[in-house]
Amino acid sequence: MVVHIVMFQFKEENKRENLELVKKRLEALVQKIEPLKRMEVGIDFNHSERAMDLSLYATFEHEAGLKTYATHPAHLEVVALIKELTIESKVVDYII
């Protein structure tokens, strides 16, 4: 199984609304992209200096599923939105 984790730091302008919007758009991908087995999206409540604002945890059966997800038009739409609303992101992909 492949795990895909991404964390985002959002711009301050309309941050709360943008976090909720992106969370909903990401969660909707589970119904649109077949290789995507599971996705959890969380908004940070800690607000510490080191914290990111939003994270996603997604799983796929194989690396090919992650590649399909990465290039899927529905995912690319959300990526374009996220790029407009964030200042930083970090990603890690690993096999369990």
Region 2-16: mean pLDDT is 98
Domain locations in the chain?
Answer: 2-95
CATH topology of domain 2-95: Alpha-Beta Plaits (3.30.70)
The packing angle between helices 73-85 and 15-32, to 10°, is 170
Q: pLDDT tens digits, residue range 13-52?
A: 999 999 999 999 999 999 999 999 999 999 999 989 999 9
Region 74-84: mean pLDDT is 99
Q: Is the Cβ–Cβ distance between 51 and 4 less than 8 Å?
A: no
Q: Which distant-in-sequence residues (6+ apart) come within 8 Å of 51 by Cβ? A: 44
d(CA 55, CA 40): 8
What pTM was computed for the model?
Answer: 0.95
